[in-house]
């Protein structure tokens, strides 16, 4: 475990899933960090936790002083084809009440270090290009934007450009 001010970084546990779902729900309804239109059920999110993450694909949470998860970052498979096994996708969400406290940087650095230790070669971030704070964060982490796909996503009645950024480990 690592401390970041009043927060602790630790591996995610299944008991964190309701808090992770709350964070995700806000983005589904209000943000462009996800292009989901509907919030998954708790059962669906538990299944997501069980099947998407594990020893090869870690998920880290930032927990507050009450040990409530207020942010999370993890890596997942980029593609199910064997030739992509060394490439992963990063996912990062912070609770809206905990923005601008260094959690995004701390969580991302933790997961990037784990990806490197696990022998992953590339990390891909897919970011709505209008999400300037995420674009800046990933640039500061060394990600290079290798593709900008105009109108790749659609949410809230408008087309959204999506940047594909890559960190080679």
Model pLDDT, residue 4: 83
Report pTM: 0.96
The yes-or-no verdict on residue 1 having pLDDT over 80 is: no
63-66 contacts, C-beta under 8 A, 24 or more apart:
63/7, 63/8, 63/9, 63/10, 64/6, 64/7, 64/98, 65/6
Neighbours of 156 (CB within 10 A): 10
Give the tokens for residue 165: 């950024």
Domains, the chain, in order of start with CATH, read: 2-168 (3.40.630.30)
pLDDT tens track for 121-151: 999 999 999 999 999 999 999 999 999 999 9
Q: Which two tokens stand for residue 82?
A: 């064997």
């Amino acid at each position: 475990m690592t401390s970041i001010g009043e927060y602790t970084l630790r591996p995610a546990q299944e008991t964190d899933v309701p808090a992770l779902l709350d964070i995700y729900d806000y983005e589904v309804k209000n943000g462009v960090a996800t292009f989901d239109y509907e919030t998954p059920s708790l059962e669906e999110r538990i299944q997501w936790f069980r099947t998407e993450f594990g020893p090869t694909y870690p998920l880290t949470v930032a927990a507050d002083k009450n040990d409530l998860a207020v942010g999370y970052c993890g890596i997942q498979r980029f593609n199910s084809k064997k030739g992509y096994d060394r490439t992963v996708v990063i996912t990062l969400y912070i609770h809206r009440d905990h923005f601008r406290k260094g959690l995004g940087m701390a969580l991302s650095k933790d997961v990037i270090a784990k990806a490197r230790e696990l022998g992953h070669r590339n990390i891909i971030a897919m970011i709505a290009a209008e999400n300037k704070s995420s674009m800046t964060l990933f640039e500061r982490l060394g990600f290079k934007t290798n593709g900008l796909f105009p109108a790749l996503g659609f949410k809230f009645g408008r087309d959204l450009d999506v940047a594909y950024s890559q960190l080679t480990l």
